[in-house]
Amino acid sequence: MKKRIFLASPHMSDEGYEQDYVKEAFDTNWIAPLGTNVDGFEAELAQKVDIKAAAALSSGTAAIHLALKAAGVERGDIVFCPTLTFSATANPIIYQGAIPVFIDSNFETWNMDPVALEQAFKKYPEVKAVLVVHLYGLSADMDSIMEICNRYNVPVIEDAAESLGSHYKEKATGTIGDFGIYSFNGNKIITTSGGGMLVSNNEQAIAKSRFWATQSRDQAKHYQHSELGFNYRMSNVVAGIGRGQLKVLEQRVQRKKEIFEFYRTELAEIEDITFMPVNEWDSPNYWLSCATIEGDISPEDVMNELEKYNVESRPVWKPMHLQPYFEEYDYIGQNVADTLFKKGICLPSDTKMTDEDLLYVVNVIRGLWR
């Protein structure tokens, strides 16, 4: 058996940038709660994506939660959310006591369908916020989505957990709406082992979010709390890893693109395989190389075959409206997300993979069609 080939795993820099920042945190004994690494990571990421303010948090999920709160979402409010996403997008809507309405995808972007979004606004004109996801690093059709949301005067939150390093018409994903969030989970394009970031050009809202994230502790010598708070701040050690990882973001994006292009070129002979769409206005980070499979061989067949050869792969996200917990909530669309789930597959996209590893994966897949 060959060594295990992972879908996507942490990849520390060869230069050891992360260790330098973490060592500084230990040398200064500034382990927690905050510190220079947290401040530096916030400033450096904000500069990287060209936005005014950022708050380093414990997870991307925490960032979505605070974005919803900052957008004024309260108990009983309706929030539009893509159905084709990970549950971490939808869960914070429930944390706020709000009501998710799930919006279908389209085949052109794999992301929120503007046509279905328009239909949702007509059905629920009282909606309080719209959550948009940039799935697998692919940009949603933001011009169309923003035009609709601006017309209804509803704030937009971008879940860019999977798309740090992606650009929509030369603008970083996560910086187009009112709020954006990034994730640094272990499988993301850069990682802090766990963590997230909330970003916005609304500096006052980010300052307020930092306040909420530190248990809403009032300015007083004693411990005083006038609002409900959360324990959501990132530690100084974790932020040090993030500062080091940020230095190699462009390298990671380049390698992810090479992986995607390798698969697309080497598997072009198999007509049953169609790779995820990359639009002319989209510069993805290619976080995962995904495809749909038609014909007699199913995605499950491919995944089972790869597993036999010690290669990790995954299905496309199961839509939220098909999840047992969320099935009671409304869904608007034409079942495009269902189709992508049934036919979709995520191929190993680990940036530590060698070209030999990639060819190994390709040959396993070719073998099924031969």
Whether 104 and 146 map to the same domain: the answer is: yes
- Give the per-residue pLDDT at 290: 98
What total of structural domains would you count in the chain? 2
Whether 189 and 254 map to the same domain: the answer is: no
- The reply to whether 361 falls in a domain is yes
- The reply to whether 221 falls in a domain is yes
- The reply to whether 3 falls in a domain is no
Whether 276 and 169 map to the same domain: the answer is: no
Instruction: For the chain, count helices (H), then strands (E).
Output: 12, 15
Whether 306 and 235 map to the same domain: the answer is: no
Kindly list the distances between the CA atom of residue 177 and the CA atoms of 168, 202, 257, in Å, as whole numbers in the listed order. Answer: 12, 11, 26
- Last residue of one domain, picked from the residues 246, 277, 298: 246
Beta strands in the chain (DSSP E): 53-57, 78-82, 99-103, 129-133, 156-159, 167-168, 171-172, 179-183, 196-200, 273-275, 282-283, 289-293, 314-315, 331-332, 344-347
Whether 35 and 106 map to the same domain: the answer is: yes
Structure tokens at 232: 């959501």
- The reply to whether 5 falls in a domain is no
User: What is the Cα–Cα distance from 133 to 60, expressed in whole angstroms?
Assistant: 12
Domain holding 364: CATH number?
Answer: 3.90.1150.10
For residue 333, the enclosing domain spans 249-369
- Last residue of one domain, picked from the residues 211, 246, 281: 246
What is the per-residue burial (b if ≥16 Cβ within 10 Å, else e) of 104-113? bbbeebbbbb
- The reply to whether 112 falls in a domain is yes
All residues at 6 or more sequence positions from 336 whose CB lies less than 8 Å from its CB, including other chains: 104, 105, 106, 107, 113
What is the per-residue burial (b if ≥16 Cβ within 10 Å, else e) of 172-202? bbbbbbbbbbbbbbebbbbbbebbbbbbbeb
Q: Are 81 and 310 in contact (CB under 8 A)?
A: no
- The reply to whether 321 falls in a domain is yes
Whether 173 and 71 map to the same domain: the answer is: yes
0.95 cut: is pTM over it?
yes
Domain holding 132: CATH number?
Answer: 3.40.640.10
Residue in this structure with the two tokens 């500084």, named with its chain if needed? 24
Whether 278 and 204 map to the same domain: the answer is: no
- Enclosing H/E stretch for 259: helix 249-266
Per-residue pLDDT 10s for the chain (370 aa) are 579 999 999 999 999 999 999 999 999 999 877 899 999 999 999 999 999 999 999 999 999 999 999 999 999 999 999 999 999 999 999 999 999 999 999 999 999 999 999 999 999 999 999 999 999 999 999 999 999 999 999 999 999 999 999 999 999 999 999 999 999 999 999 999 999 999 999 999 999 999 999 999 988 889 999 999 999 999 999 999 999 999 999 999 999 999 999 999 999 999 999 999 999 999 999 999 999 999 999 999 999 999 999 999 999 999 999 999 999 999 999 999 999 999 999 999 999 999 999 999 999 999 999 8
Whether 281 and 268 map to the same domain: the answer is: yes
Whether 171 and 226 map to the same domain: the answer is: yes
- Last residue of one domain, picked from the residues 212, 246, 280: 246
Q: Are 48 and 249 in contact (CB under 8 A)?
A: yes
